[in-house]
Structure 1
Amino acid sequence: MRILAPAKVNLCLRILHKRNDGYHEICTLMHQIGIFDEMDIELTEQGIDLISEGAEVPHGLDNLAGKAAQIFLQAANLDKGVRIRLHKKIPVAAGLGGGSSDAASVLMGLNKILKMRWSKEYLQSLGMSLGADVPFFIGQKSALAKGIGEKLIPVILPKNIWYLLLVPPWPISTSWAYTAYDELAENSRPKREIATAYSQIEDILPIMHNDLEKVAFQKYPELAIMKKKLLMAGARGVLMSGSGPVLYGLFSSRKETEEIAQKITLPSGWQALIAQGLADENN
């Protein structure tokens, strides 16, 4: 079975505090976008076999998608194996949720292949054991996530949102970003209530904030320079996604996005990607 696993961006990311168990309480608005990893999944007699093309990522059970297959088979009490061929197109360690999306897609794919008919909520509970972002990819295309990411509230976004992603040639470790943030000894609280419905892009702009930008920009000043360039080029809003380093600009049409992509000069090794925000069918 061929499955598409979408990337995501964070339209806001606020870190509230660090819990005693080491996790961080957050408040974040996430939106799935039209950049996809592709996965071919099939059942085998035994073992979890995962190989990747397109990027250097862990194989087998060292990969979150492989772990997802293992957890699914254990929950189903099935003595079978799974072979996954992963065609990696989402930039790795970039703040776009590719690993979490791959894991979520494996859970949903095996649910179909094995005709288990498990509920979305049960799949999300399995996903939570793999990572805080995994349940989001099993739910709506856009959602407000609270707690450590497990409390999901559906959000309605404008249909025509386009993103211009600027991808640096180096990764940022999520664990490093949160540790560096903790060392700042700064806790943030949402300055305004984050709504669950937005009728136009202009309504989103006031909430666009990422608490991890400060530590990322301190370590990589080039990010701050490129954020300013993208704003000056005409983006409605610009933000770093997740723990970075990808920056994105917000636009209302593909034409406008392509024009800015042509106009902006990228540093050596950077690449620009264009993606449309995904919408649920009933939105």
Structure 2
Amino acid sequence: MRGPLKVFSHAKVNLFLEVLAKRPDGYHDLETLFERISLADEITLSRAQAGIRVSSDSSQIPKGPKNLAYRAAKLLKETYGLKQGIVIRIKKRIPLAAGLGGGSSNAAATLIGLNKLWHLKLSKERLSELGAVLGSDVPFFILDSRFALGRGRGEILRTVKAPRVKIWHCLVTPAFGISTKKAYEDLDRMLLAPPPVWSAAADRLQHNRNKQVVGLTPTSANVRILLHSIQKGRLETLEKLLTNSLEHALNNRVIEISEIKKDLKHHGAMACLLSGSGSTVFGIFKSKKDASHAARFLRKTGRKIFVASTF
């Protein structure tokens, strides 16, 4: 391939995210259910004689070594002793620090694209290994699966087959972003000093912490039921099954998350949840029409609103 290569970099939401315990390496063991959605950035990869250059229509993303797409290209060049350069242009649609995996998806798309552009012939398994070096969510985007169950840091994956299921979402992103590191720090602090009134989810978190759970754990009953509901298309049962440990921690600090959930439910969401570490909250709707109807009203709040579906 001689000319530029264009690849799409899709977002994700977490339909289930339960933090099990903090690991000795500082990361957290977790269990999560990823859903890839249609919201996507567009990445164009163009050959260059040397070096790595990142450009974007967004002034918010870093253009140098802090950019995950840059780091993906650098990792390939250093691992395989490659001399050729690359220009990475990112047309940004996925909001930053929003819990939608935009940076990780950009890294995965860059690895996949450069593997093709540079004729490296690396297997998907090898790309996933490289992706895990860059971030816990990167392997999911390399997997090329609509749904996947993630364990460990989220990088140990099992494809979930639900070929006929298409979930429609209205995504609401407030003006502020949330650092993933800060979200986990909030969770750790909360577990060290739980408030007087706490939830069953927090009790499970504390129980797991006390047991010093590390490595893989059996899939919980809740996530098994959730998987079954999704595979059967029983979206009306999801409200009581969606879980995010990080949301419980952030609700104490970010009141707007609760307000967004109320707004989504008021406009017809069957269920809603914070995605990842936030700040985006997604609602689940019966149809594109229902999601679009909610979006029309919610845009009046001044927040970023997206309608997207399983992809």
Q: TM-score, normalised by structure 1?
A: 0.93
In structure 2, the gaps of 5 or more residues are 192-201, 209-218
Alignment partners' CA distance in 2, 1:124 and 1:134: 7
Between 95-104 and 221-230, the greater mean CA deviation after superposition: 221-230
User: Alpha-carbon deviation of 1:135?
Assistant: 0.4
Matched, 1:222 2:234: no
Query: Aligned residue for 1:276?
Result: 309
Counterpart for residue 6 of structure 1: 10
Residue 18 (1) aligns with residue 8 (2): no
Structure richer in helix, relative to its length: 2
2-structure distance, mates of 1:70, 1:213? 34
The residue identity in structure 1 corresponding to 2:270 is R
Residue number among 171, 177, 190 corresponding to 2:183 in the alignment: 177
Q: Letter of the aligned partner of 1:194 in structure 2?
A: V
1:182 maps to amino acid: D
Inter-CA distance 20–77: structure 2 relative to 1 (3 Å threshold):
same
2:167 aligned with 1:161? yes
Which residue in 2 is equivalent to 1:52?
56
> Aligned partners of 1:232 and 1:191: how far apart in 2?
30
Root mean square deviation of aligned Cα:
1.7
Structure 1 residue aligned with 2:223: 194
Structure 1 residues 78 and 50 mapped into 2: Cα distance closer, same or farther (>3 Å)? same
Superposition deviation, residue 264 in structure 1: 4.0
Q: Is the 8 A contact 1:11 1:28 kept in 2?
A: yes
Identity percentage of aligned residues: 38
**Is contact 1:46-1:81 (8 Å) kept?**
yes
What TM-score, normalized by structure 2, do the two folds share?
0.85
| 1:262 corresponding residue in structure 2 | 296
Aligned residue for 2:241? 207
**Which protein has the larger Cα radius of gyration, Structure 1 or Structure 2?**
2
Name the CA shift for 1:164/1:55 in 2 (closer, same or farther; >3 Å).
farther
Contact 1:51 1:60 in 2 (8 A): no
Q: 1:55 to 1:238 in 2, by over 3 A?
A: farther
Change (3 A) 1:242 1:55: farther
- Partners in 1 of 2:16 and 2:155 — Cα distance? 16
Indicate which of 32, 37, 42 corresponds to 2:46: 42
Runs of 4+ in 1 over 4 A off after TM superposition: none
SS at 1:171's partner residue?
coil
Q: 2:80 aligns with which of 73, 76, 81?
A: 76
**Paired AA for residue 271 in structure 1:** K
Q: Partner amino acid for 2:152?
A: G
Paired residues of 1:48 and 1:61 also in contact (CA < 8 A): no
Count of equivalent residues = 277
The equivalent position to 2:147 in structure 1, one of 139, 142, 146, is 142
The residue aligned with 1:245 is: 279
Per-residue Cα deviation, 1:157-213 (whole angstroms, up to 9, x for no partner):
452211100110111010000001000115626762423452112354443011111
Partner of 2:97: 93
Q: Following TM superposition, by how much is the alpha carbon of 1:68 offset from its aligned partner in structure 2, in angstroms?
A: 0.1
Q: What does residue 213 of structure 2 align with?
A: none
CA positional deviation for 1:265: 6.6
**SS of the residue 1:84 aligns to:** strand
